[in-house]
A = this chain, B = another copy of it.
Amino acid sequence: MPITRIDLSATRSAADRLAIAEGVRRALQEAIGIPSDDRFLIITPHDPADLLFDREYAGVRREDIVYIQVILVGGRPQELKLDLYRRIVANLTEAGVRPDDVYIVLTENDLDDWSVGRGRAQLVDQGTVPGRRAES
């Protein structure tokens, strides 16, 4: 039940925005095993003047940044996160985003921090999530 916030320029079309969101969703499935119907993403288009970024920080050449914040349950091993970044960039390239323009940040929480409908805590009942280390 990751939830993803995507903040980008309003100059990107509705079709491109949808393709970007679908690219992130698919990467979560490919890298971490999130089910395809676990699809929850919030897109916020911004006036370019409100979307600030450095064009060269960390040796990257940014032109039109796409900010992606994924909130997800903690406990996934690092190699899954690294694979997630690569797959998001690969999928977003297909959606017309330059690899240098993809900025990703993860925020982790716990199983009891989610209620995806009806006021129930579905992950507490379920007891685990895909890709999580057994010892977590």
Contact A114 B109 (CB under 8 A): no
Report whether B49 and A46 are in contact in the complex, using a CB–CB cutoff of 8 Å. Answer: no
Copies in the complex: 3
Nearest chain B residue, comparing its CB with the CB of A45 = B50
Q: Please give the number of chain A residues whose Cβ is less than 8 angstroms from any Cβ of chain B in the complex.
A: 68
Q: Which of A57, A58, A67, A81 has the most CB of B within 10 A?
A: A58
Given contacts A46-B44, A113-B81, A116-B58, contact A39 B67 (CB under 8 A): no
Chain B minimum-CB-distance residue to A38: B57
Select from chain B the residue with minimum beta-carbon distance to A71. B105
A95 at interface, CB cutoff 8 A = no
Near B by CB (< 8 A), chain A positions 95-136 give 99-110, 112-122, 124
